[in-house]
Amino acid sequence: MSAIRTRTLEEYHADYQHSVEDPDAFWAAVAEPFTWHRKWDTVRGGEFSPAGTSTWYAGATLNLTENCLDRHLEQRANKLAIIYEPNDPKVRHLRLTYRELHARVCQFANVLKKNGVGKGDRVVLYMPMIPELAVAVLACARIGAVHGVIFAGFSASAIADRVNDAQATCILTADGLNRGAKQIPVKSVVDEALETCPSVRRVIVVEHTGWPVEMQGGRDAWYHEEVADVDKDCPAEVMAAEDPLFILYTSGSTGKPKGVVHTQAGYMVWADYTFRNVFQIEENDVFWCTADIGWVTGHTYGLYGPLLAGGTTLLFEGVPTYPSPGRFWEVIDKHHVSVFYTAPTAIRSLMAHSVDHVLAYSLHSLRVLGSVGEPINEEAWYWYDQHVGKGRCPIVDTWWQTETGGIMISALAGITLSVPARAGLPLPGVQPVLLNQDGTEIEGNNQEGYLAIKASWPGVIRTTWGDHERARQTYFQPYPGYYFTGDGARRDAQGLYRIVGRVDDVINVSGHRFGTAEIENAINQSDYVVESAVVGYPHDVKGQGIYAYVICRHGLPTTDLETQKAEASIIEAVVAAIGRIAKPDKIQLVSGLPKTRSGKIMRRILRKVAEGETTNLGDVTTLLDPQVVDEILGGRK
């Protein structure tokens, strides 16, 4: 068995068989090289019990940052750990070695302790993609505080919901951020959120843009002043294997975001194992995951995975099209990036520009390409392969979720088969199945069904913060004995998996999931709105767009100006409640919605209309008002 690293197709098949036949021995061998204060009593437990619980490495104690930093100091102290590329290419980049990163993490860990943060406390981070964000995440882990990163694009209301759910006591933010040409005053957004967050006692502010901000006496402190007088050594808190590491909020089919909880040991092992194997990481690689740390991809493959493996990770503050559509490729050449991991949304947006923006750069350093967030379509796959990879870089199209902690189904770069629009084969330890509606497993190839996982793996979600019953009902109750992904999938003739989309009321926009109820709740805050229904539809760049059907409070507008005012109010309500990333792409004002006689909105019909399928809507005669469908068809955008 290869244990930590699979290097050939034969080893993949052997490892996969071993992981299924004797998972305890397999995962014990994978975990062996890490630094442990105490080894485990049992490797795994729970196995998707009716209570919806799993445990990994129970009885073990550790600190994750000792595995990210301390254990590398003997041989990699002077190796680059983080390369930071600012939003503005004229601003000098920053490089931190493992020794320097270790010192900064210990410093800020001591700052947190000085400010009353201890083991088990929750710390929210609402930050630009700057080194201080990475330092703060690791500093929380150093002292056993639970970090909750919120993407710095969410609204004050969305921040408040998350802070109050987690009962966070401390927030780290910045004076402001630049994202491309946009300027976002993140500190003022936090100030607005904290008007309804009584649990927060301390706000630490990074001086990043130099913009003036209001500092509240007794609550707010400057980062640079706090770190100036603390020690650069901080002993690592000893943590139990199943202690919480972080909370990351993700949308579900209800209006309230759920706090996905990952714990120490299992997440660590899964992040490291999947990072090394999927990307076939080598010692001198420079790895660039373009995801913000506010998303799980940024957690696992922007930060934890690379550092656990002793690698070099690149953090990028900007966007792919600023100041030109060649920015990604410029950064790759500038920092000799060898493994590049991005989203189909970014690829498709760059495809809309002249290919000369790619051809202007050599990209000779690239060795492996990756895709994440949603299935990559064939056109984008071939463009990525030809123009970015120059036909010589394997592409890994990775399928996984916030709840899985890391990659579940993917090619292993250069080892297992990579086919356009196919995620590929499951990683060792992952047992995917296709289920029909009654929960029966569908055997054989060339089959389609609901995608579920039938055995636990180290990175599986442990709970939803403060509401374990929600986790149980969402992931483990629909099909007892399985983790239900909420995705549909097809297994092709070669046994490769293709993800075909969500089967629940969740829309995947540029790899970010939003519950339809969450967006509808936001839309309904507009004074113009009495009721709404939201569905996803195919979008050339985002994968899925948001299509909103809205009933106006005072009837359908009669002028273009009234329509524009209503639509502007709806967009404003969504931006205020969630953030600009959830803004509807299309808004159709309607006089009614297709409902059953019991009052259920028939989103199936609305989804088909949004997708342009207008001739096969099924039987509408049983609806409360069938004529509504004709009106909706007539007004389709």
What CATH architecture is 96-237?
A: 3-Layer(aba) Sandwich (3.40)
What's this model's pTM, rounded to 2 decimal places?
0.87
Ordered by start, the domain boundaries in the chain are: 96-237, 514-634
pLDDT at 1: 43
Single-letter code of the amino acid located at 543: G
| pLDDT 10s digits, 379-392 | 889 999 999 999 99
Q: How far is CA 543 from CA 423, 491, 540, in A?
A: 16, 21, 6
pLDDT tens-digit map of 425-481: 999 999 999 999 889 999 999 998 999 999 999 999 999 999 999 999 999 999 999
Q: Residue 594: helix, strand or coil by DSSP?
A: coil
Once rounded to an integer, what is the mean pLDDT over residues 553-569? Answer: 92
- Residue 254 pLDDT > 60: no
| Cα 423 to the center of its chain, rounded Å | 17
What is the residue-wise DSSP string for 233-289? --PPPPEETTSEEEEEEE--SSSS-EEEEEEHHHHHHHHHHHHHHHTT--TT-EEEE
How is residue 553 written in tokens?
Answer: 């409070």
Place 622 in a pLDDT band, splitting at 50, 70 and 90.
low
Q: What is the pLDDT of residue 619?
A: 65
- Whether 96-237 shares its CATH topology with 514-634 is answered no
pLDDT, averaged across the chain = 93
What per-residue confidence (pLDDT) applies to 637? Answer: 82
- Reported residue count of the chain is 637
Per-residue buried b or exposed e for 136-168, using 16+ beta carbons within 10 Å of the residue's own CB: bbbbbbbbbbbbbbbbbbbbbbbbbbbbebbeb
Strands laid side by side in the 312-316 sheet: 94-97, 80-85, 312-316, 286-289, 339-342, 368-371, 395-397
pLDDT for the residue numbered 514 = 85
Please write the tens of the pLDDT for every residue from 311-336: 999 999 999 999 999 999 999 999 99
| Cβ 347 vs Cβ 386: under 8 Å | no
- Please report the pLDDT score of residue 602 as a whole number: 81
Q: Are the C-beta atoms of residues 457 and 270 closer than 8 Å to each other? A: yes
- Among 201-205, 299-303, 529-533, the least confident range: 529-533
pLDDT at 345: 83
Using DSSP's 3-state secondary structure scheme, residue 220 falls into strand
In one-letter notation, the amino acid at residue 361 is Y
Class of domain 514-634: alpha beta
Report percent pLDDT > 90 for the chain.
79
CA distance 75 to 404: 32
Percent with pLDDT over 70 in the chain: 97
pLDDT category, 393, cuts 50, 70, 90? Answer: very high
Of residues 252 and 17, which shows the higher confidence score? 17
